[in-house]
Amino acid sequence: MSRASKIHKNEESKICPECGAPKVNGMDCWEQLGGVLAWEADDPELLAEHFKTVASYNLQHPSQFTDRILADLRAVFIEHLDNGLPIMEMRKRLGKISGGKNRVLKDKSERHPVQHDWKMTISDVYIPNHPENAAQRVREWAAVIRQEL
Ligand SMILES: [Zn+2]
């Protein structure tokens, strides 16, 4: 992929060590996710894809999650994309697995991020000052991830 080579050498350290997204206007991938979520307030179509946005981000940052939660998140994501599992049903399932005594996040010391060369990352969705068609970009992003699961 040419994404890294397009970026000045000094900037390479600014690529997310896990999802590989470059910084955009000094914003790291987490801040870019926040930028997309902020658009939801003015974009009902994007708001309707909220699960895809958050799940796509999480699936590109798997090292923080326990194996069990990650497996469940993958399964629900696939069912949603392939079979249209309704949002309410997904919330119920994910709420059940993340509730109670189940551990969702690994301790920092147990996390070992491995960079993966994705075809799309949050930086392809978060285009500063271009919220139009963001919902479409989220759907494409989710589909790219689905292909690799
Ligand atoms: Zn990242």
Query: Is 93 among the domain residues?
Result: yes
Query: Is 59 among the domain residues?
Result: yes
Query: Is 68 among the domain residues?
Result: yes
Look at the block and give the residue holding tokens 């060590």.
17
Q: Total structural domains in the chain?
A: 1
> For 55-102, what is each residue's pLDDT tens digit?
999 999 999 999 988 999 999 999 999 999 888 888 888 877 666 666
CA of 61 to the centre of ligand 1 (A): 6
Query: Is 1 among the domain residues?
Result: no
CA of 143 to the centre of ligand 1 (A): 18
Q: Which residues surround ligand 1, an ion (CB under 5 A)?
A: 16, 18-19, 21, 29
Query: Is 109 among the domain residues?
Result: yes
pLDDT for 92 equals: 85
Look up the domain containing 109 and give its range. 15-148
CA of 101 to the centre of ligand 1 (A): 28
Query: Is 7 among the domain residues?
Result: no
Name 130's Cβ contacts closer than 8 Å, sequence gap at least 6: none
> For 93-112, what is each residue's pLDDT tens digit?
887 766 666 678 899 899 99
Query: Is 83 among the domain residues?
Result: yes
CA of 85 to the centre of ligand 1 (A): 26
**Alpha helix locations (H) across 7-66?**
29-39, 44-47, 50-59
CA of 34 to the centre of ligand 1 (A): 12
Query: Is 9 among the domain residues?
Result: no
